[in-house]
Amino acid sequence: MKKFIIALICTTWIPTTANAQEKLYIDVTESTIKWIGELTFHFGGHDGFVNFKEGYFIKTDDVITGGEFIIDMNSITNTDIKQQEGKDNLVNHLKDPDFFDTKKFPFAKLVITEVNYSDKTHARMKADFTLKGITKTINFRVEFNYKERLMKTRFKIDRKLWNVNYQSKLKNGFISDAIGFEVSVKL
């Protein structure tokens, strides 16, 4: 019986120490998400920021292996329009149902499901991204700066896959179906 208990302790203790996991919470005041919406057939478009509500990475044996991030869609801002009235009009329109419908869906969520390293500071991540209640898998490259406790990435999504269906009424001024994101995450 004594041998059985020792064997049981060893089999349950060894795997947990071999794959020690730790949650590394992000600094939401130092982390940024820049969004970029462009015109399809012309140069130009709009850009701004949206804030993280909270988030963390999962670190297993000294490398990032996962994470989860909540994005406050009501925090969306515009940075390219100079007049305050124009900024307010665009931000309010982005919160409407034909864009992000922030009354019904105030938060977006990104859950990292897979991380494949090409070297110590570069990886490809696979994540489930939920926007407007729709979850789709996305892939993107990331770069880690361990000294500065920083991760950076850039990627685009097809807004139509998340039911962001606004159609521009301007002749030859259609907005692109792609929304770009430039993300900087600080621990």
73 part of a folded domain: yes
Contacts of 22 (CB under 8 A, 6+ apart): 58, 59, 60
Number of domains the chain contains: 1
- 11 belongs to a structural domain: no
In a domain, 157, yes or no: yes
Interval 74-129: pLDDT, tens = 999 999 999 999 999 999 999 999 899 999 999 999 999 999 999 999 999 999 99
The pLDDT tens digits of the residues spanning 144-167 come to 999 999 999 999 999 999 999 887
CA distance 39 to 157: 15
Q: What CATH number corresponds to the domain at position 176?
A: 2.40.128.110
| 109 falls within a domain | yes
Q: Is 9 a domain residue? A: no
CB 177 within 8 A of CB 158: yes
For 139, the enclosing helix (H) or strand (E) is strand 134-145
For residue 132, give its domain range.
Answer: 20-186
**Is 7 among the domain residues?**
no
pTM for the complete prediction?
0.86
